[in-house]
Structure 1
């Protein structure tokens, strides 16, 4: 059986990915601060394994402990493949440099960059002594390759996850493992993150009006559309390790 671990699975893109994977008969492990009852019920209806782990991804010690526990019992089952979706992310702080607060800076880097590095490192390590292939999907952003005023921390953390993905892929290729790692840029979706962006101030975020227009003109992507495109890619067997995939290319 295949197992999928999804951070931030309680809502947004993570929720949509989880629901699609359950439809594909892939067991789901949800990792987030709160549990999504719809995902739990859907898995039960399909007679499929599902487990939720509460975890605050901004706390390094908690990430280590929770994912060590998950890795221990998942690898014991000797699954055919493990899909690790590092999906959880935070946009804050939205503010210009010189006016940033320390706490949200640290939380952003912990959730967007450090947690995915820790989890990927752990699962690649465990895979060295098993026959299980691990496929890591790091959710990134177009902000990783484009400077956006007010988003210096977010841009930096996502640029970091792109570079980590590409470097880890080179290493796995050199080691000749069956593991793969990609980054996936999901575009501008209709999620709580967009709500946070629209509630920021013009002084902190220069492009505020443009993002408000995305909602007003109904041009935001739906999470189901994005999740389906991503899962279709993963199930195709044509994933290129180290590549940064963009939703716009997958929807063509």
Structure 2
């Protein structure tokens, strides 16, 4: 049996990925602070094995405890493959350096970088003791390779996630495992994160008007379109471990 774990599954891209995986008859484990009742209903109606784990990814101890429980739950079923979508992310703080508050800075790094590292480390460690293949999908951003004034922390955490992905992939190849790990840049989507960006100030975020224009001119990608392209890639079996995929190349 194939299992998928999706962090940030309650909304946005995570919700869209989870719904598509349910359509594909893949057992899903949703991880978010609050459960998405529509996803739960869809899974039940589809007869899909489904479980939700509540977790605040900004709390290191909680991440360790919850994902140990998830690992125990899944590995005892001797799964053929685990798809691990490290999707959850936060954009805040949107602010220039010199005006940053400590708490949102730490939360950003915890959610965007530390949590994916800890979760990936745990599942690759457990996989060493089994015949289970683990495919890790780290949701990155174009901000990982392009600087935006006011986004120093977000850019840095996503750049770190890309480098972690590339390094982990090299190590898994060296160990001759079947595991694969990729990063995925989903483009500019019509999600709550974009609402957060548009509600910032010109002083904090120089490119504010450009992002407002994306919405006004209907230039934002829909989450389900992005999710379908990503899941199509993963299920194709043609994933190149260590690669940072961009939604633009998947929608050609």
TM-score tier, shorter chain, comes to over 0.9
Deviation at 1:73, TM superposition (A): 1.8
Which aligned pairs between 1:1-252 and structure 2 lie closer than 5 A? 1-252=1-252
Residue 34 of structure 1: SS of its match in structure 2? coil
List structure 1 runs of 4+ shifted beyond 3 angstroms. Answer: none
Deviation at 1:86, TM superposition (A): 0.3
Length-normalised TM-score, structure 1: 1.00
CA offsets per residue over residues 70-110 of structure 1, 9 Å max, x none? 00121111111000000000000000000000000000000
Distance (whole Å) between structure 2 residues aligned to residue 73 and residue 5 of structure 1: 12
CA offsets per residue over residues 16-44 of structure 1, 9 Å max, x none? 00000000000010000000011100110
CA offsets per residue over residues 129-158 of structure 1, 9 Å max, x none? 100000000000000001110000000000
Unaligned runs of 5+ in 2: none
RMSD between aligned alpha carbons?
0.3
Deviation at 1:45, TM superposition (A): 0.6
Distance (whole Å) between structure 1 residues aligned to residue 224 and residue 193 of structure 2: 16
Q: How many residues align?
A: 252
Distance (whole Å) between structure 1 residues aligned to residue 36 and residue 73 of structure 2: 22
